Homo-oligomer: A and B are copies of this chain.
Amino acid sequence: MTQTQPALSALLARRRLGYTLEAQFYTNETIFRQDLDFIFARHWIQVGVEPDIASPGDCMIVDIGPHAIIVARDDDGGLRAFHNVCRHRGARLLHTAKTNVGNLVCPYHQWTYGLDGSLLFAAHMPEQFDATCHGLRRVHVRSLAGLLFICMAETPPDDFDAMAQTLAPYIMPHDIRGCRVAFEEDIIEHGNWKLTMENNRECYHCNAAHPELTRSIFAEGFGFAPVGAEAEAQAERFHSMVGALHRDWEQGGLPSREIEDLVDRPTGFRTERLPLEDAGESETLDTRVACRKLLGKFSEKRLGALSVWTQPNSWHHFMSDHIVSFSVFPLTPETTLLRTKWLVHADAVEGRDYQCANLTAVWRATNRQDSDLVGKAAAGIRSSGYRPGPYAPDTESLVEKFCAWYVGRLKIGLGT
């Protein structure tokens, strides 16, 4: 009554560069809806991997805030996506995460749709009823070397192909289509989706928070700047490893050098192949491959970890033996779903080629640690005592880039 909320455009205009966002961006219901409208309904959203829907008739459902989507493999092996809503009385068509169907049949009155979304059957409708106007509402879907993206906008951002052209050579050798999902985990984090993303965009917290992960990864690979002589020596060792290995890997046909285009395009992305510590084979507790059957045509185990990020909502680590793929879905202003998938070669057999517990140990632990930190950040940010704080210029530069991208995209959405 006496308080007036500054409009979103004013909040965006006054955003202080190099500082965390104001609290409303992480808590306010209206801004959350704007995030869903301007970010998630208008950009390319990474939702899964081709092995999720390998065969004709395979369907997967994805919920993004109020958006309920079906991603399907049609009878010709093509990718399809639809709103998960019957055109008759609005009932949700599919309720299970993954399923295989001949047609999509509504559980309420059995309206029946083909895998191309066309309405095939609707009892009791009159002669003049035009079924062709009542097919499922379509959603754009694309695969980037096996990573699945959807876009709910009528006209999606036109930079998908350019991104795909850049990233595909990095990803293709890991042959996602030749994989299967060995394990999948959903965590609900108690913070806004941007806190989940920001947590992922820096390794400032890694050494203290992630004892399992830092057995294999170098925090230096994610912006972490050394402080003190010991850290500087370590950083120097890391960067000389990067130099040498990039040369080796690229000569072996694996693109590895950093490409970063996070801020100034609709579909921001970044990639780099990074060395791993110790045995250097994989992101496991013993830094050795978790799966004896290597991906694609690999015979060399020490391929480091290819990191691929997309904005707004994903990151992925590709090793010689397995892939870990992370997708972020907003649920409410202060809850977020983190969906993680571990992929191995489609022919790998559990118990013989890999142990699921060993395969997933590092990232299951790391996810839990990150979820705890996101919850603690959210708890502080919703407190009246919170004020935006400064990012460390080097070590948190990629967090700043995420925020800059986000602010820029909202401004474009608002037309300001």
Contact = CB atoms under 8 A, between A and B. Distances in A.
A379 interface: yes
A129 B227 CA distance: 15
Interface stretch (A102-110, A328-336, A337-345): A102-110
Interface residue SS majority, chain A: loop
Interface string A65-98: 0111100000000000011111111111101000
Interface string A372-413: 010011011111111111101111100000000000000000
Contact of A108 (B95, B373, B387): B373
A137 interface: yes
A88 to B, nearest CB: 5
Interface in A1-23: 1-3, 7-9, 20, 23
A49 to B, nearest CB: 23
Interface in A285-343: none
Given A392-B125, A393-B126, A386 B225 contact: no
A8 B383 CA distance: 24
Interface in A349-385: 373, 376-377, 379-385
B88 A389 contact: yes
Contact of A83 (B134, B384, B396): B384
Interface centre among A20, A108, A204, A414 (most CB of B within 10 A): A108
B385 A83 contact: yes
A205 interface: yes
Nearest to A111: B389
A30 interface: yes
A34 interface: yes
A106 B307 CA distance: 28
A124 B387 contact: no
Contacts of A389: 86-90, 134
Copies of this chain in its oligomeric complex: 3
A162 interface: no
A229 interface: no
A92 B152 contact: no
Q: Classify chain A: how many residues form its interface, as a range.
A: 35 or more
Contacts of A85: 380-381, 383, 385-387
A147 interface: no
Interface string A269-285: 00000000000000000
8 contacts: A84-B383, A87-B387, A89-B389, A92-B377, A93-B380, A95-B379, A124-B227, A134-B389
Nearest to A202: B109
Contacts of A67: 383-385
A204 B124 contact: yes
Interface centre among A137, A208, A384, A385 (most CB of B within 10 A): A385
Interface in A129-158: 129, 134, 137, 152
A163 interface: no
A41 interface: yes
Given A68-B380, A225-B124, A380-B85, A20 B90 contact: yes
A69 B380 CA distance: 10
A118 B83 CA distance: 53
Contact of A90 (B41, B123, B377): B377
B7 A385 contact: no
Nearest to A28: B1
A91 B377 contact: yes
Contact of A390 (B84, B129, B205): B129
